[in-house]
C-alpha cells in the first residue's frame, strides 16, 4: 500500500504528459556489471532505481545544478544515499535541474569526486 501511495503522484504527473528526463548509467568491467542504474525525473519527482551493482548497492551523490561546475554559492551540501540492488528510492524535494552520479561503492569514482569537489568549493 505504501508503494502505491508513493507512486500515485508520479502516475498523476505522467497522466498530465509532463516531460521528464531519464539518466541511465551502465558500467561493465571484464564482462560483468559494475553498476547499472536508472534515474527518472518527472516534474518534482525523481526516482533512483538500482538495477544491478557488484556490491549489492548503488551509491548516489546528488548536487544542485548551480553547484557543478563551481560558479555561484551552492544552496545545499551534496546529498549521499544508497539504494539496494533491485530497489528504488523516490525523492520529491531535490533542487530543480540537479546532477547526480552513481557508483557501486561508497568511495566515489573520478566523476563523482569532481562533482563533489565543485559543490564543496562553492558551499563554504
Q: What is the pLDDT of residue 14?
A: 52
Q: What is the pLDDT of residue 124?
A: 35
**Tell me: the pLDDT tens digits for 57-75?**
999 999 887 775 555 567 6
C-alpha cell at position 68: 557543478
Which residues on neighbouring strands pair with residue 27, listed in sequence order?
A: 35
Residue 104 has pLDDT above 70, yes or no: yes
Is there a cis peptide before residue 69, judged by omega within 30 degrees of 0? Answer: yes
Q: Which CATH class is domain 2-122?
A: mainly beta
Could you state, in order of their start, the residue ranges of all structural domains in the chain? 2-122
Query: What is the SS3 assignment for 86?
Result: coil
Phi-psi region of 31 (alpha: psi -120 to 50; beta: other; left: phi over 0): left
- Radius of gyration of the chain from Cα atoms? 15
Amino acid at each position: 500500500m505504501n508503494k502505491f501511495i508513493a507512486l500515485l503522484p508520479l502516475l498523476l504527473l505522467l497522466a498530465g504528459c509532463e516531460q521528464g528526463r531519464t539518466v541511465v548509467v551502465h558500467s561493465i568491467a571484464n564482462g560483468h556489471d559494475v553498476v547499472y542504474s536508472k534515474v527518472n525525473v518527472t516534474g518534482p519527482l525523481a526516482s533512483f532505481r538500482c538495477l544491478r551493482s557488484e556490491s549489492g548497492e548503488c551509491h548516489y551523490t546528488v548536487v544542485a545544478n548551480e553547484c557543478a561546475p563551481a560558479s555561484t554559492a551552492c544552496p545545499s551540501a551534496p546529498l549521499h544515499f544508497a539504494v539496494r540492488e533491485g530497489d528504488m528510492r523516490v525523492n520529491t524535494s531535490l533542487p530543480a535541474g540537479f546532477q547526480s552520479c552513481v557508483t557501486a561503492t561508497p568511495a566515489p569514482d573520478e566523476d563523482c569526486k569532481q562533482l563533489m569537489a565543485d559543490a564543496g568549493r562553492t558551499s563554504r
